[in-house]
A and B are shown apart, each in its own frame.
Chain A
Amino acid sequence: MEPFVRRSHLLVSARDEAQVAASWTHNADAVVLDLDDTVPMAEKPAVRTRIQAAIPVAARGGAEVFVRITTALAYADLAASVWPGLTGVVLTGAATGADVTEIAATLSQLEKERGIAHGTLSIIVMLDSGKGVWNIREIITASPRVCSVGLDEMRLCRHLGIEPHPDFDPFVYAKGRVIIESRAAKRQPVGFSHPAGLFPECEDTEERQRLALRSKNLGFAGMLCVHPAWVEPCNHAQTPSSERLDFYRETRRLFAEGIARGTAAIPYPGTTMMIDVPVDERARITLALWERCAARDAAKAEALQRARTAS
């Protein structure tokens, strides 16, 4: 799979036309149009008919567009969602590898029918049952389409009979498992540090920044945001800070010098730090990530500029 920069995924109810119309203005890396929890069963058929038109609207600011669907209604949701311009789906309700295989097969069929390049549509799995968390390895490796995985904490609470409380993180183990298993399988872990996953109503800007950074340092590489206010803190937390860039460039320069002299353990002047292979490797990875983030931000800014000029 191509490396992607998907720091923030903004969830927008496909039912709410005003929200959909504004979805491209929040600078999210991805916009997720929801056909799942936020759309009552009776309204689903009508809302489904609007997805095809909503995709280019959500994409106006340069965001990739996903639709959130659930396994139980997957066929109807997919038939309404798979159109050129879609990047993939966010899937809830998957508890086994077979659940994912089935979605992947339906995606292949629809790609063929609707003139979309084969194998290009992605799946972001949001686990929402104990069984799903337990089977994470078979779920995320069931298809190369699975690019990311996270927990739907609210539904997981319901499934496990947990009463959410801001002081107590019920998913220390589950989050650890998601982070380890997804990174081991080269998938992106999506999620928040407690309590942001269960209590996203947070007015305090600084607190949002702090929790986004904490989520990053827990091992999550992207977040699913239920409110636009989380988008900027998440983009910011997942972008290497520009203050450190000089330090990383200097690290790489000193290490290259050391290697030329025949040593791979070089002290960083003015610190107790030793530069060895992994320290150099981190500098390389961080600089590369920064460049990809900068390229993504430039592409979004350009798209936004075009959209504003047009309207």
Chain B
Amino acid sequence: MARRVRRSGLTMPINTQRFVDRSWTRNCDFLNFDFEDSVPQSQKVHARTLVAHAIVQGQKGGADITIRINCAYPDADVPAAVLPGVMQINFPKAETAEQMRHLDRLITEAERVQGIRPGTVRIGASIETTLGVANSYEIASASPRIQEFAGGTGYDMSMDMGVEMFVGFDQFVYNRGEGALVAMALGLEYTGSVYLSDTTGNVGDSGLTRQRAEANRKAGLRAGSGLHPNTVEPQNVGLTPTPEEVQAAQRLLAYFRELDERGEVEGELDGRVIDQYEAARATELLEWSVLCAQKDAQKARAQAQARALEAQTQA
């Protein structure tokens, strides 16, 4: 499967029409329409009828579309959620490999019914409980549809661990480590984040979001997400390599090629030791930079088209 660019994204209740209808204007890399915690029990059935409309709205902005289903109702949710245009089904509070295998079977059937190319709809397994952390490896390896993985942090996890959320130290350090190890051992994209102290828990803090995104980029991490529109641009910018970083990577690779031609494996550039690991890091950064540019172009095209269409209908 192609590498996904998911620097920024918003999760929103699929049954709140004004959010869904404006979602394409947010310039997110992905939109995650929710069936789960932000949808009241009485609206669950109605929510399942709203996916086609949400896809159309979201795609106007060039975003990838994902649907977060309920862990309690996969049998009812999956046939409603898997429509052409949906890239990924997110499964919250994943706790066992059997849940993933069951979800995989449901998606396989839905792909068949909808005429979607078999095996292309991904699974996002969200670890949000201690049992999920304990079973990380089994969960992440349960389906080839799982392409990315991270350890459990956040609100549900803090509740299951009995800890407060914003205490000024990282209560989730073990979970992050476990998630990163499992992702790397299985060759999945690690979508976790570094820890930055946050004592307010303001989900719309663009300054802190930017800081975190930059710290993640410097640590080689590529993924973001969010609940508030203020988080989108700081992540789009903060997770994209800067022109200086791109230039430095190009210089490094040119130098490494010279070394290679001379039959050497290690040298020094600007006081830094350059070897195959540094070269691999630079190669990844350049690839990532190209993918970011492609995604930005795709979003800009889609949004220009949507604006033109909107102007036409208004005229």
Which residues of A line the B interface, CB within 8 A? Answer: 137, 172-173, 175-177, 179-181, 183-185, 214, 216-219, 221, 258-259, 262-265, 272-274, 276-279, 281-282, 285
Q: How far is the CB of B148 from chain A (nearest CB, A)?
A: 21
Which of A179, A180, A263, A277 counts the most chain B CB atoms within 10 A? A180
Q: A217-B164, A278-B159 are in contact. Are A173 and B40 (CB under 8 A)?
A: no
CB distance B38 to A264 under 8 Å? yes
Q: How far is the CA of A273 from the CA of B175 in the complex (A)?
A: 25
CB distance A265 to B133 under 8 Å? no
Q: How far is the CB of B62 from chain A (nearest CB, A)?
A: 26
Q: Does chain A have a CB within 8 A of B76? A: no
Can you list 12 A-B contacts with CB-CB less than 8 angstroms, sorted by A residue number? A176-B173, A176-B175, A180-B161, A184-B130, A216-B162, A217-B163, A258-B40, A259-B40, A274-B203, A274-B227, A276-B38, A277-B38
**Interface residue tally on B, bucketed by range:** 35 or more
CB distance A279 to B162 under 8 Å? no
Q: Does chain A have a CB within 8 A of B73? A: no
Q: Does chain A have a CB within 8 A of B129? A: yes
Task: Name the A residues within 8 Å of B134 (CB-CB).
Answer: 137, 180-181, 184-185
Q: How far is the CA of A279 from the CA of B41 in the complex (A)?
A: 15
Q: Which of A173, A184, A216 contacts B163 (CB 8 A)?
A: A216
Q: Which of B37, B40, B169, B175 contacts A262 (CB 8 A)?
A: B40
Q: Which of A180, A259, A278, A282 contacts B37 (CB 8 A)?
A: A278
Nearest residue (CB) in A for B176 is A176
CB < 8 Å A-B pair total:
90
- For the complex of A and B, list the 9 residue pairs with the smallest distance between their C-beta atoms, beginning with the closest: A176-B174, A264-B40, A183-B130, A184-B134, A184-B131, A184-B130, A277-B37, A219-B161, A217-B167
CB distance A272 to B204 under 8 Å? yes
CB distance A219 to B171 under 8 Å? yes
Q: How far is the CA of A265 from the CA of B159 in the complex (A)?
A: 18
Task: Name the B residues within 8 Å of A263 (CB-CB).
Answer: 13, 16, 40
Q: How far is the CA of A278 from the CA of B164 in the complex (A)?
A: 13
Q: How far is the CB of B248 from chain A (nearest CB, A)?
A: 34
Mark B132-165 against chain A: 1 for CB-CB distance below 8 A, else 0: 0111000000000000000000011001111110
CB distance A184 to B129 under 8 Å? yes
Interface residues of chain A: helix, strand, loop or mixed (majority): helix
Which residues of B line the A interface, CB within 8 A? Answer: 13, 16, 36-43, 129-131, 133-135, 155-156, 159-164, 167, 169, 171, 173-175, 177-178, 201-204, 227
Q: How far is the CB of B257 from chain A (nearest CB, A)?
A: 40
Nearest residue (CB) in B for A179 is B161
Task: Name the A residues within 8 Å of B174 (CB-CB).
Answer: 172-173, 175-177, 179-180
Q: How far is the CB of B63 from chain A (nearest CB, A)?
A: 20
Task: Name the B residues within 8 Å of A273 (CB-CB).
Answer: 201
Q: How far is the CA of A221 from the CA of B135 in the complex (A)?
A: 22
Which of B36, B40, B201 counts the most chain A CB atoms within 10 A? B40
Q: A217-B163, A258-B40, A272-B203 are in contact. List 17 more A-B contacts (CB 8 A).
A: A137-B134, A172-B173, A176-B175, A179-B174, A180-B134, A180-B161, A184-B129, A184-B130, A184-B131, A184-B133, A184-B134, A216-B162, A264-B40, A277-B38, A278-B156, A279-B155, A281-B159
Nearest residue (CB) in B for A244 is B164
Q: How far is the CA of A174 from the CA of B268 in the complex (A)?
A: 40
Q: How far is the CA of A172 from the CA of B164 in the complex (A)?
A: 19
Task: Name the B residues within 8 Å of A181 (CB-CB).
Answer: 130, 134
CB distance B177 to A259 under 8 Å? no
Nearest residue (CB) in B for A178 is B174
Q: A137-B134, A264-B37, A279-B155 are in contact. Are A183 and B171 (CB under 8 A)?
A: no
Q: How far is the CA of A176 from the CA of B178 in the complex (A)?
A: 10
Q: How far is the CA of A61 from the CA of B173 in the complex (A)?
A: 38
Task: Name the A residues within 8 Å of B161 (CB-CB).
Answer: 179-180, 183, 219
CB distance A218 to B171 under 8 Å? yes
Q: How far is the CA of A263 from the CA of B167 in the complex (A)?
A: 30
Task: Name the A residues within 8 Å of B13 (CB-CB).
Answer: 263-265
Task: Name the B residues within 8 Å of A262 (CB-CB).
Answer: 40, 42-43
Task: Name the B residues within 8 Å of A264 (CB-CB).
Answer: 13, 37-41, 43
Task: Name the B residues within 8 Å of A279 (CB-CB).
Answer: 155
Q: How far is the CA of A134 from the CA of B307 in the complex (A)?
A: 58
Task: Name the A residues within 8 Å of B37 (CB-CB).
Answer: 264, 276-278
Nearest residue (CB) in B for A188 is B162
Q: How far is the CA of A42 from the CA of B194 in the complex (A)?
A: 53
Q: How far is the CB of B132 from chain A (nearest CB, A)?
A: 8
Which of A185, A214, A218, A274 counts the most chain B CB atoms within 10 A? A218
Nearest residue (CB) in A for B167 is A217
Q: How far is the CB of A5 from chain B (nearest CB, A)?
A: 13
Task: Name the A residues within 8 Å of B135 (CB-CB).
Answer: 184
Q: Which of B16, B169, B171, B204 contacts A265 (CB 8 A)?
A: B16
Q: How far is the CB of A285 from chain B (nearest CB, A)?
A: 7
